[in-house]
């Protein structure tokens, strides 16, 4: 933990970069707006909707293993919004009082999700009616959905804040068997002791099988989102492209920074998208939120989010892995111990060694702080992590293909690299901490650019990776402000091959602002 806290408080002194000839493309032709403040808590996208006690809100899907999806949501036993009016300074001490969520004590709160296929093919006793019209018309009664799963809830308090009941339940791992991959489903959740208050029925698509045969598959990627007008624009841009199988958020989620009502407003902001498309998250430095006399960290992160840690052999939500069609995806914990003798390093070695490149030819990694970035913000801040874990990502399990980061509030696309040199045996790297947070873009760069830096732009936006087949993927980055229907500000093909004499899997970008990547 000492190493973790030191990382969060002090940036590591930057060592000299091995800079080559300037070749990085700086995207231009766009007038960047100034940073925007957080949206006010009473903004329509953030405010609590009118409704009875125990009304579900802040829904989020996440992938939970083969044929399974977890849904998390929040309910409150009353409709009091007093905390949202409290001054921000009221929570800055970040002390955790350990009151044990007394406001929920004695309440027999269920955590129930009811769900079924939209086409009715999983109805009890044979095929039932098609539910599409009822879903579209808002007339579907959740009680008629044929399948149900029960979960549980947790809660936490900090300073004068008491969370609602933080529910979770998993669809596809209970009676009735796994979800049918690629099928359209609808669900509704309840945490009401009387069973009378349900969420609006929500459609979603069950994850396809995690095999190469299920390609193509699309992943949306965002980072450092926050809850500003820019954040809302980024989220709207992601939602406007509905083909993503899931979203990767590379950390720094709500920017609550210890003021916990801002976790609730952020959950409401993303509900309209995260309720229907799985989101996979990892912790950033803004999730630290140290609380309590014993220094408990990441309290809200650990309480609010469901990730497949246990299913992937991890002891913690700080790092984990999962599979999607054609890819194994690994989330690494920047703010957990990553040193030579750490549990995370041992877990990563085991996880990479189990990857079946026949089933999942792509190996993707995401974490918060970047190993490769030519932006002056956070420059080489976690180079110790890179030195500890990069050798594993380069060799074990055939080597990673792409690594995604946040933390730096800018966009940068990087050539295949190892040991801070351009190297086709290494993965490509993408910095995408440009989701729209209140701190604004990071506009200052190394000059000249390192050889491995191909494209960089200090603008807000989001990315999309389409795994087309086992060797080719299409990457596109769309910049906020370019307008609906505008072409991507940066786009390139990622190609992976069989390697030089079998020594490594040669990777490289074709096209895009940085052009083709030559072998080093």
Supply 5's token pair: 């806290």
Rounded Cα gap, residues 315 and 144, in angstroms = 38
pLDDT at 106: 80
Residue 225 has pLDDT above 80, yes or no: yes
Task: Give the pLDDT of residue 30.
Answer: 62
Q: Catalytic residue at 409? A: no
Enclosing H/E stretch for 65: none
Residue ranges with strand state E in 118-213: 147-150, 152-154, 157-158, 161-162, 165-171, 184-190, 202-205
| pLDDT of the residue at 513 | 55
**Cα separations in angstroms, 71 against 63, 187, 263, 275, 307:** 9, 9, 17, 8, 11
Choosing from 286, 378, 407, 429, the catalytic residue is: 378
For residue range 56-110, what is the model confidence (pLDDT) as tens digits? 999 999 999 999 999 999 999 886 554 443 444 444 334 444 455 778 888 889 9
Are 416 and 424 in contact by the 8 Å Cβ rule? The answer is: yes
For domain 57-205, give the CATH superfamily.
Answer: Purple acid phosphatase-like, N-terminal (2.60.40.380)
* In the predicted structure, residue 235 carries a pLDDT above the cut 70: yes
Class in CATH terms, 2-12+19-36+209-493: alpha beta
Q: What percent of the chain has pLDDT over 90?
A: 75
Q: Comparing C-alpha atoms, which of 338, 350, 342, 430 is closest to residue 390?
A: 338
CA distance 417 to 422: 4
Provide the pLDDT confidence category of residue 291 given band limits of 50, 70 and 90.
low
- The pLDDT mean for the chain works out to 87
Distance CA 506, CA 498 (A): 6
Alpha helices in 275-362 (DSSP H): 299-304, 343-353
Query: Could you give the 3-state DSSP secondary structure of residue 347?
Result: helix
Domain boundaries, the chain: 2-12+19-36+209-493, 57-205
Q: What is the DSSP letter of 295?
A: T
User: Is residue 400 a contact partner of residue 430, using CB atoms and an 8 Å limit?
Assistant: no
């Amino acid at each position: 933990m000492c190493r973790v806290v030191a990382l969060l408080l002090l940036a590591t002194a930057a060592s000299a970069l091995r800079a080559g000839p300037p070749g990085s493309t700086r995207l231009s032709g766009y007038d960047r707006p100034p940073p925007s403040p957080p949206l006010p808590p009473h903004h329509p996208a953030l405010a609590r909707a009118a409704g009875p006690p125990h009304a579900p809100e802040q829904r989020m899907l996440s992938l939970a293993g083969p044929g399974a999806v977890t849904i998390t949501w929040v309910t409150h036993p009353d409709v009091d919004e007093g905390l949202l009016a409290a001054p921000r300074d009221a929570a800055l001490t970040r002390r955790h009082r350990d009151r044990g969520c007394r406001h929920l004590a004695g309440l027999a709160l269920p955590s129930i999700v009811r769900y079924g296929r939209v086409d009715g093919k999983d109805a009890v006793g044979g095929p039932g009616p098609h539910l599409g019209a009822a879903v579209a018309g808002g007339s579907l009664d959740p009680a008629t959905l044929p399948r149900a799963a029960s979960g549980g809830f947790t809660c936490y308090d900090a300073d004068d804040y008491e969370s609602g009941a933080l529910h979770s339940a998993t669809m596809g791992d209970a009676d009735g068997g796994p979800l049918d991959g690629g099928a359209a489903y609808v669900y509704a959740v309840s945490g009401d002791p009387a069973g009378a208050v349900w969420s609006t029925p929500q459609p979603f698509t069950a994850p396809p099988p995690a095999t190469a045969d299920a390609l193509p598959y699309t992943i949306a990627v965002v980072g450092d989102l926050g809850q500003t007008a820019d954040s809302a624009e980024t989220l709207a841009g992601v939602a406007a492209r509905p083909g993503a199988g899931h979203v990767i958020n590379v950390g720094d989620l709500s920017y609550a920074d210890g003021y916990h009502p801002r976790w609730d407003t952020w959950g409401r902001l993303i509900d309209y998208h995260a309720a229907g498309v799985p989101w996979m998250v990892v912790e950033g430095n803004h999730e630290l939120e140290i609380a309590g006399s014993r220094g408990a960290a990441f309290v809200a992160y650990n309480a609010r989010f469901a990730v497949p840690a246990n299913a992937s052999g991890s002891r913690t939500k700080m790092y984990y892995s999962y599979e999607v069609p054609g890819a194994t995806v690994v989330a690494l914990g920047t703010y957990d111990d990553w040193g030579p003798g750490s549990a995370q390093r041992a877990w990563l070695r085991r996880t990479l060694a189990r990857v079946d490149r026949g089933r999942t030819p792509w190996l993707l990694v995401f974490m918060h702080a970047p190993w490769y970035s030519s932006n002056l913000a956070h420059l080489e801040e976690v180079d110790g992590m890179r030195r500890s874990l990069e050798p594993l990502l380069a060799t074990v399990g055939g080597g990673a293909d792409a690594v995604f980061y946040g933390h730096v509030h800018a966009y940068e696309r990087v050539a295949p690299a190892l040991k801070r040199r351009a190297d086709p045996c290494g993965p490509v790297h993408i910095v995408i901490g440009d989701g729209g947070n209140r701190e604004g873009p990071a506009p200052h760069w190394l000059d000249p650019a390192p050889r491995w830096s191909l494209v960089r732009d200090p603008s807000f936006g989001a990315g999309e990776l389409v795994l087309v087949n086992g060797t080719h993927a299409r990457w596109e980055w769309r910049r906020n402000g370019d307008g609906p229907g505008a072409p991507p500000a940066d786009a390139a093909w990622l190609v992976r091959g069989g390697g030089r004499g079998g020594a490594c899997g040669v990777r490289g970008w074709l096209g895009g602002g940085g052009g083709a990547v030559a072998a080093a």
